[in-house]
Structure 1
């Protein structure tokens, strides 16, 4: 039997999915034990009990100075910035992407500009944003928005252009206006693709969020990571990195489930 035709059963698939994570954890435990055996004060790979103590301290123990539970305070601050930027990017990308994809005049006007903007490294704009908008929330939200919106616009525009031309011709034959075709023909087919685009944008969005918080912020997950790095506090940094990853995975999973629930036909269409 050819390897391409071998499909694992459910139990085997679960084992294979868990195996890489187990190997990473095992490698960490062995590496940590070896380094701590040579130097008990080593901070690069803290032991699992040290990681557990740090999690308890950051998540379940009130800070002596502020009285806040730092992990949850940082998470709330970061999520407010991230969700605000994602909401703005979604609305802008949906409007411009559909218009660029549908209307040749708008495509001629905006497609080259959007393509050019998408090539600008967003992190290079961070000093400009801080100078123009200050160090407040607006500049951080703007960085995330600028970082992901052009890609969402281009992706949606291409998805609109890929829709069968016959659908537009039939709609016009039945007397549909441009607005009606946009609402009744294009939008229902583009919305599930927009949700998939958002899923792919989560990684860059978190990257821009952490970068903005690391440079100029007094709260947030990125701020905390870069604050404690001065003390080589890997027992705090590693749980924060894991927590950020879990949040991103949960958001990706939630968007995937929402897309399946709202547009059950989309999977079959693909």
Structure 2
């Protein structure tokens, strides 16, 4: 792998993402969405995509732009409540959805990137997450065409008490798309605040990780203790500048006294 991983443009960086690819995408809500890469992927025209991300953006932002253009076949997500088109496609049977508890999704990505095949967790024990039957795809008439399968549940002794745990398989994908506030030419990345929740994990899970960065610096300019994701996980770096649009999911203001 070349040490200088910079790529001139987002379109060049995503050029080999073909139809049918699986992609892990970073971000948390609308924070840290790799919009330059998503827009380039939209322009590329690839479809039948299987996306793993905490959420699917909104109707006109984030992964929502791919969804609106029928580019996504399946979403593996935790939170999908902000996208009306997502709801419509799911209920009409156009979109397959694998709902996953948020912490479990994060650990599935981390495990995949760490070479761990599966792990046991208490999250989901006693629910359809473990027992199966969660709708993944509807048939368009209100029936369930594809339901989640049951998962292996085992008892383990924890602190002298036997508890039930459900087996969760790790996630790996063909590609990963992430946004970082800073990165160097070797691919070492720094994420801003809550964008760090999922972005490093998504990056780890992708066999080819593509990062757009607001600030590109030279190797050595990032303090090693400040690196959130080592460059060993990153294959392409695209500088996009800091003037890119950054949306706020819900703007909340406090009324001044007397108003």
| Structure whose CA Rg is larger | 1
- TM surpasses 0.5: no
Where is the strand percentage greater, Structure 1 or Structure 2?
2
Where is the helix percentage greater, Structure 1 or Structure 2?
1
For normalisation by structure 2, the TM-score amounts to 0.19
For normalisation by structure 1, the TM-score amounts to 0.19
